Amino acid sequence: MNGSPALSRRPDLAKIADHVPRGARVLDVGCGEGDLMAVLQSEKDCDARGMEIDAEAVAKAVSRGLSVVQGDADRDLADYPDAAFDVAILSQTLQTAQRPEWLLDQLLRIGERAFVSFPNFAYWRMRASLMVNGRMPVTRHLPVSWYETPNIHHLTVDDFREFLRAKDVGVENCWFFANGREIGGRRANWRAEHAVFQLRR
Amino acid sequence: MADRTDAPFRTIVLDHTLPLDSGRTLAGVEVAYETYGELAEDRSNAILIFHALTGDQFVAGTHPQTGKPGWWERMVGPGRPIDTNRYHVICANVIGSCMGSTGPASAGEDGAPFAMQFPVITIRDMVRAQVALLDALGIQQLHAVVGGSMGGMQALSFAANWPERTARVLAIATTARHSAQNIAFHEVGRQAIMADPAWNGGDYYNGAAPDKGLAVARMAAHITYLSEAGLTEKFGRRLQDRDAKSFGFDADFQVESYLRYQGLSFTDRFDANSYLYITRAMDYFDLAEEAGGLLADAFAGAGDTRFCLVSFDTDWLYTTADMREIVHALNAVAAPVSFVELSAPYGHDSFLLDVPALDRVVEGFIG
């Protein structure tokens, strides 16, 4: 799975693809042009559906033969029935949500299991950049200046863990990445550039 | 079942009486249709395209009456998004219309035109006739049904009532229910026709047709097919063939002249009574009502059918919100559904015009 060319630049997606059960019903929220969906369908026989806010990306995904609905996760996830999917995926989108708590509730209402990935704002390069330059860091995973970034709820690995504890959401698994490679979980809040959590309601 | 090769249109005569939603029936129904591309030996590559209100079966190629290209020539043909090198495309004229299928201008039992004795029909009745055509052609399952506007209503009706007969449903710029505003615009058109003295209670086939009323109906409808931005871009307040206002009621403005042309050219090719019957069928369309009130129930049997819905951001006749209701209903039955709102300046008519993003979506979805 990690060898899939479409996912080679997204180790978080490759990790998720590895851990989605074969044949699962999957909703990919913020699916973009459907790279992950395509892999899940072709390599794991999944019934993959997507939601994406950008019309051009939806058109591209549909033209690849994928089932993608243009919609705003902040609002339209409410339209899906309970337990409609085995797996709900939210990759690199939580930090753009108007209401992250509502969004996580929806993911675990719609899916039996959820994968959530996000950039870690406590990554040491971020901290150093803010410390040394005194300005909002612009990095590979947060590549846009503060005034035009879609990210409105920056979070850290420790913040997310605390959030899950408060909400009593079970963590089945988690993975961490830096410089495009997986790293161990030790001192992840400091060392991880971004994180993937596998959650269960 | 007989092919009428002597007819100006290629038609089939149904060998059974067609039951209608009104409780009435139609005997000896003729369905005019065209086909494009070869039917595969296993008959698996057929695509049924439904036309819009004022369209007809000549989706591609040259229209025999107007000499103009087919209404979706840019979408259907060799190498086009609906590729007739690969697919066998069927397009039939709806019943109630006037391009060869049985309608109010057809002869009734007494040999005279039905006129207003023609039964009121519904979108589902139109589809029922098309399914009968498929039966006559020996095509059990379609690769896809495709339609925009009223054609989209038929595609949705097909999915709701005959889901096992198609693998894919592509519905563009349409709705599952005619709104009060939609009905209101249609009523303006119908009243314009009925107010024309030549309409004569629908009994005009031996004399002058109610062309003035029909032209006004078409003019009013045409405005709803465009967007304000599109009209402004195309015409603004520019004057037609003059430098100053005439202080009279000639077509001073280009937009007036354009609408008058649209209205008049329509009367050459369309029957006023057909316009009454077809707009009525659209007004009655309410898929949720047919299913007992819940739209999702309409699609209860379509959970394995692949859907693709497309709306346009400037379409105020059948809006993105209308189409989202259909998406919700399809999600509720877990049907594999795609939906995209495309950006185009032309309003409702965008589905007929040059929107490359639509081409890509259609081509990708049809496969």
What's the complex ipTM? 0.87
Q: Quick one: tokens of A82? A: 């309970």
Nearest to A28 by CA among B346, A39, B66: A39
Q: Are B204 and B275 in contact (CB under 8 A)?
A: no
Q: To which H or E segment does residue B341 belong?
A: strand B337-342
Interface test with A, best of B319, B340, B362 (most A CBs within 10 A): B340
- Determine whether domain B182-278 maps to CATH 3.30.479.30: no
The number of CA neighbours under 13 Å toward the Cβ of A201 is 17
| A5 close contact with B: CB closer than 8 A | no
Which of B188-192, B197-201, B265-269 comes out lowest in average pLDDT? B265-269
| A27 close contact with B: CB closer than 8 A | no
Q: What is the CATH number of the domain that holds A11?
A: 3.40.50.150
The predicted pLDDT at position B5 comes to 40
* Average pLDDT across chain A, whole number: 93
The predicted pLDDT at position A7 comes to 78
Q: Which residue type is seen at B38?
A: E
Query: How far is the C-alpha of A136 from the C-alpha of A116, rounded, in Å?
Result: 24
| B12 close contact with A: CB closer than 8 A | no
The closest CB to that of A64, out of B308, B340, B364, belongs to: B364
Beta carbons of B365 and A62 less than 8 Å apart: yes
Look up the pTM and report it.
0.93
The predicted pLDDT at position A9 comes to 77
Catalytic residue among B149, B227, B311, B350: B149
If you count residue pairs, one on A and one on B, with CB atoms under 8 Å apart, how many are there?
A: 62
Contacts of B99 (CB under 8 A, 6+ apart): B9, B32, B56, B57, B58, B93
Q: Which domain holds residue A114?
A: 5-121+153-200
Q: Which chain A residues are Cβ-neighbours of B357 within 8 angstroms?
A: 55-56, 59
Q: What is the per-residue pLDDT across B33-63, written as a single tens digit (0 to 9) for each?
A: 999 999 999 999 999 999 999 999 999 999 9
Do the domain assignments include residue A113? yes
Q: What is the per-residue pLDDT across B156-173, written as a single tens digit (0 to 9) for each?
A: 999 999 999 999 999 999
Strand partners, B91: B34, B49
The predicted pLDDT at position B306 comes to 97
Assess whether pLDDT exceeds 80 at residue B233. yes
CATH for the B2-178+287-366 domain, from 3.40.1350.10, 3.20.20.70, 3.40.50.1820, 3.40.50.1220 = 3.40.50.1820
Assess whether pLDDT exceeds 80 at residue A6. no
Beta carbons of A68 and B338 less than 8 Å apart: yes
pLDDT above 70 covers what percent of chain A? 97
Going from N- to C-terminal start, the domains of chain B cover: 2-178+287-366, 182-278
Q: What is the per-residue pLDDT across A10-39, written as a single tens digit (0 to 9) for each?
A: 889 999 999 999 999 999 999 999 999 999
Nearest to B124 by CA among B168, B176, B89: B176
The predicted pLDDT at position B4 comes to 39
Chain A residue whose CA is closest to B312: A55
Do the domain assignments include residue A31? yes
The predicted pLDDT at position A5 comes to 67
Q: Residues of B comprising the binding site for substrate?
A: 218, 349
Q: Are strands A111-119 and A85-91 parallel, antiparallel or unpaired?
A: parallel
Q: What is the per-residue pLDDT across A94-143, written as a single tens digit (0 to 9) for each?
A: 999 999 999 999 999 999 999 999 999 999 999 999 999 999 888 877 78
* Average pLDDT across chain B, whole number: 95
Beta carbons of B337 and A69 less than 8 Å apart: yes
